[in-house]
């Protein structure tokens, strides 16, 4: 009889522990995803600026050739 009552007491603690850990895990993953997204956006903006600069140089070179 004492084993049965011990098993019944451990199940709620396990469920409460999971009930706390699962939201903490989800929030942690959300912060990790947001951080990764910010880094990716920063790299993308940098690449976009480099491509725009190259395009502007190419456009200026073509206009200089046409004006000659």
Q: Return the pLDDT at 4.
A: 59
Per-residue model confidence as pLDDT tens for the chain (68 residues): 455 555 567 788 889 999 999 999 999 999 999 999 999 999 999 999 999 999 999 999 988 887 76
Cα Rg of the chain, angstroms: 29
At 27, list the tokens.
């929030």
Q: Which helix (H) or strand (E) holds 8?
A: helix 2-67
Domain ranges of the chain: 33-67
Considering only the C-alpha atoms of the chain, give the largest distance between any 2 of them, rounded to a whole number of Å. 101
User: Which tokens belong to 34?
Assistant: 């947001």
pTM of the model: 0.57
């Amino acid at each position: 009889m004492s084993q049965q009552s011990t098993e019944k007491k451990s199940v709620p603690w396990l469920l409460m522990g999971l009930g706390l850990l699962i939201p903490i895990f989800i929030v942690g993953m959300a912060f990790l995803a947001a951080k990764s997204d910010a880094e990716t956006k920063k790299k993308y903006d940098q690449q976009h600026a480099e491509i725009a600069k190259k395009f502007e140089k190419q456009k200026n070179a073509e206009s200089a050739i046409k004006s000659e």
